[in-house]
Amino acid sequence: MVEPVRAARRELAEVLSAEAGTERRGQTIWLRHAVAGLIPVTAAVSFAAVRLTGGSPNPLNHLGYLPILIAAYTYGWRGAVPVSVAVAIMLGPMAAWLALPGGTEQLDAWLIRAVMFGAVAAITGTLFDHTRQATLGWRTAAIEIAQRERDGMVALARGAEAKDTDTGDHIGRVQILSEELARAAGLDADEAASIGWSAMLHDVGKLHVPDRILRKPGPLTADEWKIMRQHPIYGELILREGTGFEMARRIARWHHENVDGSGYPDGLRGSHIPLEARIVRVTDAFDAITNVRPYQAALSVEWALTELGRCAGTQFDPELVRLFEDLVERDNSLLARLVARRTVGAA
C-alpha cells in the first residue's frame, strides 16, 4: 500500500511542477524578455528627448528613471544598477564626448543625478527581489498545502478501497480516467486534475458498509442493497468537515445518480447532477466492468464501451459517453496507463 501512495505523490509532483511550474516559468521568461526589450528603447527615447529639446539641463532628464525601473522589475538590483550607470552617462557626459549640439551640464550636476539614479536602482531593485522571493515562498506553501490535502485524500480513499477489494488499484484508475474525461469535456488542466483527485474519494462512504456486503460474491438481497445504497450519504458525511473537499463531497454524494432520475440517493436528473459526478459515473462504471470485482469477472474494454453506449441517456450522460468512447479509441497510451496502475496496486 505504501508504493501506490508514493506513486500518487510522484504524480502530484508532476502535475504541480511539470505542468503548472513549466507553464508559469515559460510565461515568466517570455514576459521578462518582452519587458527587457523596453530598456534600451526607453533609454534611447530619454536621450533623444533631451537632445531634441536643447540638451541639458533639462527636466526631461527625469525620463531616465523609466529604463532603470524597468531593469529593476526585470532583473532586480543586479540589473538595475548597471543600467542606471549607463543612463547617467548617456544623459550626461556622452553628449560632450560626441560633440553633439545643445547644452551640457556641469560635472557636479551630472554626478548628483548619477548618484540618484544609482540609489533608485538599488532600492527598487532590492524591493522587487524581495517581492519575488516572497511570491515564491507563498507559491511553495500553497503547493505543500495542496500536497497534504492530496495525501489525505489518498490515505482516506485507500482505507475505503481496502474494505472493498484486495486487488488492483481502482481509485488510481478512476482518478486517471476522470481527469482525462474532464479534459475531453473542455475543462482546463487545473479543474481536470481536481476532479481526478476528488474522484479517488467517490466510494469513501463504503467505510460504513459491512464487509459481508462489500465482499459478497453473489447478488445482494433487498435489505443488503438498502444498506449499500447508503454509502453515498455516508461519503458526504465523512467529507463534510474541513476545506478542500467540496468537490469530493459532491462526487461522493451523487456519483450513483442517473441522468434519467432513476439513480440514488436523491434521484437527480440531467444537469441537476454536477458535471464531476456525471464524469465519475462513467469512469467508475467502466473500471468496474473491466476489472475483477467480488461479484463478477473482468470483461473486455469493447464490452464495457458497448454497455456504456447502451445505457447512455438513462444511467450515463450521453455526451460524456461519446467523449469517453473517443478518448479510449484515440489515446492508445490510456489503457496502458490503466494496466500499469493495476500492476502497481496488485504489488
CA 30 to chain centroid: 20
d(CA 314, CA 278): 12
Contacts of 220 (CB under 8 A, 6+ apart): 213, 228
SS3 state at 258: coil
Residue in 232, 239, 224 with CA at minimum distance from that of residue 256: 232
The answer to whether residues 167 and 292 touch, using CB atoms and an 8 Å cutoff, is yes
Set of cell numbers at residue 191: 479543474
Nearest to 289 by CA among 135, 198, 174: 174
Residues known to be catalytic: 206
Please report which helix (H) or strand (E) contains residue 333, including its range.
helix 332-346
Name residues whose C-beta falls within 8 Å of residue 132's C-beta, 6 or more positions apart in sequence. Answer: 76
272-296 burial by CB neighbour count: b if 16+ within 10 A, else e?
ebbbbbbbbbbbbbbbbbbbebeee
Distance CA 322, CA 185 (A): 10
Q: Which residues make beta-bridge pairs with 269?
A: 260
Q: List the one residue out of 336, 68, 330 whose CA is nearest residue 184.
A: 330
Residues 6+ apart with CB under 8 A from 207: 159, 160, 163, 234, 238
